[in-house]
Structures are given as structure tokens and as C-alpha cells.
Amino acid sequence: MTVLDVQNLEAVYGPIKALRGVSLQVAQGQIVTVLGPNGAGKTTLLKTLSGLLDPRRGTVLLEGQAIGGQDPVDIVRRGLVQVPEGREVFPLLTVRQNLLMGAYTRRDRDAVARDLEQAHAYFPILKERADQPAGLLSGGQQQMLAIARALMAAPRMLMLDEPSLGLSPKLTQEIFAIIRRINQERGTPILLVEQNAHLALHLADQAYILENGRVVLEGPCESLRQRPDIQEFYLGVH
């Protein structure tokens, strides 16, 4: 079943055409990655899907319902939740308060409490640091907090923007392992924008390569990894 169906999405910043007709699908249980050079439109794609930017044209269906151009809060309520680039945790709030902010659209207090337990199970460090200001966490811990906060919104689908940005290879591996666990254990489909093509093409099921606001290549990661052009430009194999 298709969870997210994007057709011919266009987005602009004034005169700049950042998305020029992007179509993309994410099926239930899948991890789909979007790769591409700087300025290709990856962040713009996630922003448009999250409702932070209005599409100029095109349709976005989440579980069959049109969400294109809706308010970001309504999109989160419907279950499409983004982990933003650069984490954007609230530095002066405690780790626990940050996590509870993720659940601000929810009224089901018992389920929120259960999800807090589950977030702590994925990221034990966040339980240890529950009462500390989030600003004191390391970069990797803040990334964990941002992912855990997104889980607190009870997502039906997650979107991650460059979760490896600024992290050591070891921490990046850890974060990727947790993304895989979340996908496998909760069945949550994931749309992953990533600069580390090597890791992303090993984690994800399907990939879309974006260049200049357009999808120039798409397919199963397994077959894209074999392509000489992908190996040369994205995987550094010569």
C-alpha cells in the first residue's frame, strides 16, 4: 500500500524554481531515500511535504488524503512528522520537556506516557539526561532527541533531513541502526534525505536522485548501487 504519493510537485522561492515537478512514492513499511547534490531541492521537498512551504503545483496524498498546502500542525496531526535538519531542539527546555513538546497535538495521555517509555527504550541516554537542558547534550544526543521527539507525535510516517550531518562515523552508524529499528519494529515508513549516499543506499529500499529540482533517477537501492554512474558520483568508487 502507498502511504505517501507525491505527483508533479512544484515549489518556488520567488523567482527560484526549487522543485520542478517531483513525483515520488513511499509504500507501507519502506525506507525511501532522496539523494542529490547541494541545492538539488531535497530540503525544499521535505519542507513542502511538511506544509512549511506551499506547493505551487502538484498533489500530495497521505494514506489517500490530500495534504498538499495544509497547515503544518494539521499535517503532523495526520501523522506525517519531520525531523528537521540541524535538529532544532529547544536548548533551554529539559530533555523531557523537549520530548513532551513532540506530543503537543495529542490528548491521549496514557498513550503519550507509553510512548515516552518507548522513546527512552530506544535512547536510554535521554532518560539519564531527562532533567538536563537539551542545549547541554552533544550533537549526536541532540539528533537522538530530535528523532525521539518526532516519535512522541505518534507518526504514521517519518521524514528525516540529513540525520548524519556533523556526526562522527560511529555516531552516524548508531543513528542509522536506530532508524532501521524504528522502521522494523514500528513498521513506520521513512523518507530519508541524506548526504551520506553510501549509508543511505544500504539502509533504504528505494532511492530517488534529485538534481536541479527534478528526479533524474529512481529505483531499488540494490540496483542503483551497481550502477557505474552512481558509484562514481555518489559512492566515490573509481
CB half-sphere exposure, 101, CA atoms < 13 A: 16
| Minimum CB–partner distance for residue 232 and ligand ATP (Å) | 19
> Taking CB under 6 A as the rule, does residue 82 contact ligand ATP?
no
Distance CA 210, CA 41 (A): 7
Q: Tell which one of 43, 141, 183, 188 touches ligand ATP (CB under 6 A).
A: 43
**CB 164 within 8 Å of CB 136:** no
Nearer to ligand ATP, 36 or 140 (CB): 36
| Cβ at position 11, least distance to ligand ATP in Å | 9
- Interface mask toward ligand ATP for 13-42; x: CB under 6 A: x--x-x-----------------x-xxxxx
* Closer of 151 and 200 to ligand ATP (Cβ): 200
Say how far apart CA 43 and CA 47 lie, in whole Å.
Answer: 6
User: What nine digits make up the cell of 131?
Assistant: 532533567
Nearer to ligand ATP, 36 or 68 (CB): 36
Q: Which lies closer to ligand ATP via its Cβ, residue 38 or residue 226?
A: 38
CB of 184 to ligand ATP, least distance (A): 27
Instruction: State the Cα–Cα distance between residues 167 and 183, nearest whole angstrom.
Output: 21
Choice between 14 and 228, CB closer to ligand ATP: 14
Q: What angle do CA 204, 207, 209 make, to 5 degrees?
A: 145
Q: How far is the CB of 166 from ligand ATP (least distance, A)?
A: 13
Strand bridging mode 206-211 / 190-193: unpaired
Q: Which is nearer to ligand ATP, 18 or 151 (CB)?
A: 18
Beta bridge partners of 191: 32, 159
CB of 109 to ligand ATP, least distance (A): 37
- Whole-Å CA distances, 76 to 27, 38, 49, 141, 144: 19, 27, 10, 23, 19
Q: Is 44 in the site for ligand ATP (CB under 6 A)?
A: yes
Query: Applying CB under 6 A, which residues contact ligand ATP?
Result: 13, 16, 18, 36, 38-44
